[in-house]
Amino acid sequence: MPRACPQCGSSKVRGASVHAHDGLRRMLLYTSLRCRDCRHRFWIFNPLKPLLLVSALALLVGLTAWFALDLHGSAATPPSPPATLPQTRAAQGDAEAQLQLAMRYATGDGVPQNDAEAAQWLAKAARQGLAEAQYQYGLVLLQGRGVVQDYKAAFAWIEKPARRGHPHAQFSLGELYRYGTGTPIDKPRAYLWFNLAAAQGVDAAAKARDSLVWQLKPEQLAAMQAEARRMSPGALSPGLPAPAETPTPP
C-alpha cells in the first residue's frame, strides 16, 4: 500500500489523529496520515477495516439470533413446579396434601399466590373431613378470599372442627356467636366455646371468656359450664385440662 504524500510526494508520513468532522465513512474504511515535510493530512484506503466491520456485524447478528432462540425455547417450556409440591398426591385425593397445596397457594410458597386456587383445594380437603382444612375453609368463606363471602357457610364449616376439639375453631366459633356473624348473637354460647378453647391454651379465648362473665346471668354461666364439662371428654384431646370454672358474679 503506497504511503506517499499526494501533495509533495514525500514518503515521510505518519499516522494522524481522527476528528469527529472527518465523517463516518472515512473513519470506518480509511486510515488518516500526515506528511512530515509539508504537514499535509490525507487519507488512504485500509482493506483491514471493512473485514473487521463485516466480522463485527456477523458476530452481532449471531448473538442476536442465539438469544432469540434461547428466549423462545424458555417461553415454550413452562417452568415445572418444585418437586416438593404435593400436587400429585393432592390430585389423587390425599386430604393432607390438598391442605398443604392450598396453604402454599394462599401464601405464594413455591407457586404464584392465588386465593381462588387455595380455596378450591381447601374445599376438597374440608369435604373429606380434615379438621384443619374445615377451619381454614371457614375462614376463607368468612373473609371472602377467593370465594364469595358467605357468613352462614363460614359458621357451618367452623362449627364442624370446633365440635371435634379444634381449639382455634372453638375460639372463632365463640367470636361468631358473640357478634352474631352467620348466626344470631348468643353470648352464653360464645362463653361456652371461649371456655373450651381456653382450656386448650388459647390465651385470647380466656380473655374473651372472662370479659363475658359480667354480661351473663348466674344461671346462664352455670348452664354453660355444665355443658362445657359434658362436651370436654369428646371435644378435647386426651390429657388436656377441663374447662375452667369462672367465678359467678354477685
Segment 33-57 shows an average pLDDT of 77
Segment 75-84 shows an average pLDDT of 52
Q: What pLDDT band is residue 223 in, cutting at 50, 70 and 90? A: very high
User: Among 56-70, 192-206, 208-222, whose mean pLDDT is lowest?
Assistant: 56-70
| Contact partners, residue 60, CB within 8 Å, separation at least 6 | none
- The fraction of the chain above a pLDDT of 70, given in percent, is 83
Domain boundaries, the chain: 13-72, 87-149, 162-244
The pTM (predicted TM-score) of the whole model is 0.62
pLDDT at 74: 55
> Cell 452481532, residue?
60
pLDDT at 78: 54
173 three-state secondary structure: helix
pLDDT at 239: 35
End-to-end CA distance of the chain: 118
Q: What pLDDT band is residue 241 in, cutting at 50, 70 and 90? A: very low
Is residue 228 predicted with pLDDT exceeding 50?
yes
